[in-house]
């Protein structure tokens, strides 16, 4: 009770000055960024978290007494719910309400123009300031048209994890929006990815927005090396293409071999949950694989943990089937595997399966390796990036030789059957490329790189009916393709 009286007393002052407002806005944003949603839910009585909220209450009350009182009320409701309720969903909804209110009030406080008393001879100067501020405000507003485009094309799903962004109402609680229209390039120079040539008046438009859940909206603004401007545009474009494909009506399309195939609802497998399991029998990763389709079954399902120069495939004897919306939990023993102690680039769970017509597909979900607190080994966690279903088409590669050296190159021979005839194609890569990618003379890594690059360039040549030997040399590609392992990925993904 003492806390409520104190807040109201501060709220009655309502005396924030224009010159002080920027520092309060910045302080409030820093406090909001420091609040971990999951930790707050698990520890509603943590004194440090309560002090953060109390400071925000004081800042808001100094701006508007009603805002301070409303935040105090919302936080008390969350605490009461967290102490009494056993429903994790209800508790999280209350916490999200608190954070959304804070975020909205910070933006409102930032945009609002405080008119301090001025002398008559300062009126012209004041008018200019207010005009500039009004223009700044109009630049930062997001139009309804852009929001409708964003939410519509993203299908009410997070562009990274594909989670739905509206929690349905319960008997006692309303619907809750848990989606965030995040900026790819920040709407201020000092914000995430804000140091860009993109004009300020274009930063609030649809092209610079990406729809995310609250969790990933925070992650992209903290992990700036991973979530670059180019990467976020790629994620957005692939997600919207996935939504469009999933919602498109059935129609006739032409397959690669010229045979009409029906584009329809297909089974789509995804990794929805991971968990560690350890004991006297070893350390394991648990994977929960779900068929996301509403109508189509998946049969002959297999999974593979795959990264650059690493692969573990589930045995053929462990194949399974999944009806629509059904899940299967599988176990992967990780101790004894390289990924238990060694970081593997581009690690993901690949799920391969067939539909009832015998067509084979695969999907892929990013896996993250996370060090345990003792730093003794890695555990596996579900990553944020999901790669939609693709149909597997046999391009005729029957075998790949072991790599061998010729001069300044490493090569592999590919045995290919096309049009009823067998042909050998040699694909090589210069040692300069291998050195800059960090592959060096490691034969296993060389073979992995040549297998990936060779398969893609051969598929490209088959589409133009021109099979020939091919050599990857630095002078044929941009300088950026020599930039470490990232350069290797750029070259590979360009094929």
Range from 81-90, 359-368, 454-463 carrying the lowest mean pLDDT: 81-90
pLDDT band, very low/low/confident/very high, at 380 (cuts 50, 70, 90): very high
pLDDT of residue 184: 94
* Beta carbons within 8 Å of 98's beta carbon, 6+ residues apart: 53, 71, 74, 75, 78
pLDDT range class, residue 65, cuts 50, 70, 90: low
Q: What's the confidence (pLDDT) of residue 113?
A: 61
pLDDT of residue 373: 85
The H or E element containing residue 239 is helix 229-247
Average pLDDT, the chain: 81
Contact predicate 301/321, CB 8 Å: yes
Architecture label for domain 264-391: Sandwich (2.60)
Residues shown for the chain: 495
Ranges 21-35, 42-56, 237-251: which has the least confidence: 237-251
Contacts 24+ apart (CB under 8 A), 111-118: 111/137, 111/140, 112/63, 113/18, 113/137, 114/16, 114/17, 114/18, 114/21, 115/18, 116/17, 116/18, 116/19
Mean pLDDT of 399-415: 93
Check whether 349 has a pLDDT greater than 90: yes
Q: Is the pLDDT of residue 193 over 90?
A: yes
Q: What is the pLDDT of residue 11?
A: 35
Distance CA 296, CA 264 (A): 10
Query: What pLDDT is attached to residue 246?
Result: 66
Question: What pLDDT is stored for residue 97 in this prediction?
Answer: 79
Return all residues near 96 (Cβ < 8 A) that are at least 6 apart.
Answer: 37, 176, 178, 214
Compute the average pLDDT of residues 334-362: 92
Residue scoring higher pLDDT (106 or 109):
106
- Looking at the predicted structure, is the pLDDT value of residue 402 above 90? yes
pLDDT of residue 374: 87
Residue 376, number of CB atoms within 10 A of its CB? 10
Q: In the chain, where are the structural domains located?
A: 1-129, 142-248, 264-391, 397-494
When pLDDT is cut at 50, 70 and 90, the band that residue 112 belongs to is: low
* Residue that wins the pLDDT comparison between 284 and 66: 284
Q: Is the pLDDT of residue 372 over 90?
A: no
């Amino acid at each position: 009770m003492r806390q409520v009286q104190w807040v109201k007393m501060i709220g009655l002052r309502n005396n924030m000055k224009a010159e002080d407002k920027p520092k309060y806005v910045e302080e409030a944003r820093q406090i909001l960024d420091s609040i971990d949603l999951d930790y707050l839910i698990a520890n509603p009585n943590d004194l440090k978290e309560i002090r953060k909220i109390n400071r925000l209450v004081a800042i808001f009350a100094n701006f508007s007494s009603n805002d301070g009182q409303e935040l105090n009320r919302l936080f008390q409701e969350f605490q009461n719910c967290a102490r009494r309720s056993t429903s994790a969903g209800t508790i999280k909804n209350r916490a999200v309400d608190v954070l959304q209110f804070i975020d909205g009030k910070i933006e409102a406080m930032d945009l609002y123009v405080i008119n301090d008393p001025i002398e008559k001879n300062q009126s012209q100067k004041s008018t200019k300031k207010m005009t500039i501020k009004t223009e700044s405000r109009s630049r930062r507003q997001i139009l309804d048209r852009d929001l409708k485009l964003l939410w519509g094309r993203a299908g009410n799903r997070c562009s990274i994890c594909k989670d739905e962004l509206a929690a349905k109402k319960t008997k006692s609680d309303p619907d809750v929006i848990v989606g965030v229209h995040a900026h790819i390039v920040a709407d201020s120079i000092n914000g995430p990815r804000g140091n860009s040539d993109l004009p300020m008046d274009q930063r609030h438009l649809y092209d610079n927005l990406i729809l995310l859940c609250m969790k990933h909206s925070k992650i992209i603004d903290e992990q700036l090396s991973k979530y670059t401007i180019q990467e976020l545009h790629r994620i957005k474009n692939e997600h919207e293409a996935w939504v469009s494909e999933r919602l498109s009506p059935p129609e006739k399309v032409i397959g690669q071999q010229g045979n009409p195939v029906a584009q329809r609802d297909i089974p789509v497998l995804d990794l929805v949950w991971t968990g560690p399991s350890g004991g006297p029998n070893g350390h394991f990763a648990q994977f929960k694989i779900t068929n996301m389709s509403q109508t189509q079954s998946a049969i002959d399902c297999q999974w593979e943990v795959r990264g650059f120069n690493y692969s573990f495939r589930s045995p053929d004897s462990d194949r399974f089937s999944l009806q629509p919306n059904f899940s299967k939990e599988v176990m992967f023993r990780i101790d004894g595997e390289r990924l238990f102690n060694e970081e593997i680039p581009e690690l993901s769970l690949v799920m391969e399966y067939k539909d009832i017509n015998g067509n084979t597909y695969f999907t892929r979900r990013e896996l993250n390796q996370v060090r345990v607190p003792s730093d003794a080994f890695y555990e596996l966690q579900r990553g944020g990036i999901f790669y939609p279903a693709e149909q597997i088409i046999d391009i005729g590669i029957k075998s790949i030789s072991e790599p061998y050296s010729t001069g300044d190159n490493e090569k592999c021979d590919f045995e290919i059957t096309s049009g009823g005839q067998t042909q050998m194609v040699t694909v090589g890569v210069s040692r300069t490329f291998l050195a800059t990618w960090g592959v060096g003379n490691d034969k296993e890594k060389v073979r992995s790189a040549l297998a990936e690059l060779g398969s893609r360039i051969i598929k490209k040549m088959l589409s133009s009916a021109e099979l020939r030997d091919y050599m990857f040399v630095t002078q044929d590609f941009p300088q950026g393709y020599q930039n470490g392992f990232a350069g290797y990925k750029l070259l590979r993904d360009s094929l």
